[in-house]
Amino acid sequence: MSLEIHQLPAFDDNYLYILRDTQSGETAAVDPGDASVILKFLKNHRWPLHKIFITHHHFDHTGGIAALKQKTKAQVFAPKYDEHRISQVDHWLEEGLEVTVGSYKAQVLFLPGHTLGHIAYYFASEKALFSGDVLFAMGCGRLFEGSPAQMYQSLEKIKTLPPETKIYCAHEYTLANGRFALSVDPNNSDLLQRMDIVENLRQKNQPTLPTDLQLELKTNPFLRCHSPDIRKTVGLTTSPEPQVFAEIRKRKDQNYTDPI
Ligand SMILES: [Zn+2]
């Protein structure tokens, strides 16, 4: 008995996820931006779809809801903050509520910053976090709606999870993120080592995700605003951490823009 997690590539660089409790057969999709990718996978496995979990309102995370609901009758769960901008939702979620896949429970974490309503799903028993566009490998989501201080707080919340937590991000931005990370943290040996591995994987067109919190704590500049080396590079040796975060995010936006 286990919670199976399947990672499905979609669009140019998205990952959609299918979760399945092998005992009960209950199956859920996370952020199904493209219904056809999900439907093809389900058909190949002859699995139904019972639930859809949404992290935020962006179209590459929600675009498949209508078609999937029509074809599978799955129940849709989404952040309450986005009530006015996500349709066909059955259950609105807030911090502290839970969702289930069979006997597996996930806590809803409210993590604003990329958008103001962004939530993530944390399966404590599996130490698995579905982080949408909040945290990426060696990066974080762009601040489309929230402030740097909000995103900083959201990342701090993720930092309180167990270090071995696996992080299932929604985009394969790892290589570009790593190149930026090196620009602010050039002497970080963990980062240099990780980039070798990431470059190798991407040359073979293999995913670099999921990542885990421990690795991010060592190599992700957005989780390392305390680092004396990073502070020195960005010229903010004595500033509070949220200010260092804001400066790193600004530099990333100026030089290494993610599409979404
Ligand atoms: Zn997004």
Q: Rounded to the nearest whole angstrom, what is the distance from the C-alpha of residue 58 to the centroid of ligand 1?
A: 5
pLDDT at position 256 is 64
pLDDT tens-digit readout, 162-171: 999 999 999 9
By the 8 A CB rule, do 157 and 109 touch? yes
Instruction: For residue 106, give the nearest of 130, 140, 141, 81 by alpha carbon.
Output: 130
Parse the chain into domains and list their residue ranges.
3-255
pLDDT at position 149 is 97
**Rounded distance, CA 38 to CA 16, Å?**
8
Cα–chain-centroid distance for residue 66? 22
Q: Rounded to the nearest whole angstrom, what is the distance from the C-alpha of residue 110 to the centroid of ligand 1?
A: 15
pLDDT tens-digit readout, 6-42: 999 999 999 999 999 999 999 999 999 999 999 999 9
CATH code of the domain made up of 3-255: 3.60.15.10
The sign of the dihedral angle between the CA atoms of 137, 65, 54, 147 is positive
Q: Which amino acid is at 139?
A: G
**Rounded distance, CA 198 to CA 209, Å?**
10
Q: Rounded to the nearest whole angstrom, what is the distance from the C-alpha of residue 59 to the centroid of ligand 1?
A: 8
Give residue 1's pLDDT band: very low, low, confident or very high (50, 70, 90). Answer: confident
The pLDDT > 90 percentage for the chain reads: 97
Q: Rounded to the nearest whole angstrom, what is the distance from the C-alpha of residue 15 to the centroid of ligand 1?
A: 12
Q: Rounded to the nearest whole angstrom, what is the distance from the C-alpha of residue 114 to the centroid of ligand 1?
A: 7
**Rounded distance, CA 125 to CA 226, Å?**
30
Q: Rounded to the nearest whole angstrom, what is the distance from the C-alpha of residue 56 to the centroid of ligand 1?
A: 7
Q: Rounded to the nearest whole angstrom, what is the distance from the C-alpha of residue 225 to the centroid of ligand 1?
A: 23
Q: Rounded to the nearest whole angstrom, what is the distance from the C-alpha of residue 232 to the centroid of ligand 1?
A: 31
pLDDT at position 258 is 60
Q: Rounded to the nearest whole angstrom, what is the distance from the C-alpha of residue 133 to the centroid of ligand 1?
A: 5
Q: Rounded to the nearest whole angstrom, what is the distance from the C-alpha of residue 47 to the centroid of ligand 1?
A: 28
**Among the listed ranges 112-121, 177-186, 249-258, which one has the minimum average pLDDT value?**
249-258
Residue 47 burial (CB count, 10 A):
16
Q: Rounded to the nearest whole angstrom, what is the distance from the C-alpha of residue 66 to the centroid of ligand 1?
A: 18
Q: Rounded to the nearest whole angstrom, what is the distance from the C-alpha of residue 11 to the centroid of ligand 1?
A: 13
Q: Rounded to the nearest whole angstrom, what is the distance from the C-alpha of residue 187 to the centroid of ligand 1?
A: 31
Q: Rounded to the nearest whole angstrom, what is the distance from the C-alpha of residue 260 to the centroid of ligand 1?
A: 6
Mean pLDDT along residues 186-202: 98
pLDDT at position 259 is 56
Q: Rounded to the nearest whole angstrom, what is the distance from the C-alpha of residue 182 to the centroid of ligand 1?
A: 24
pTM of the full structure:
0.96
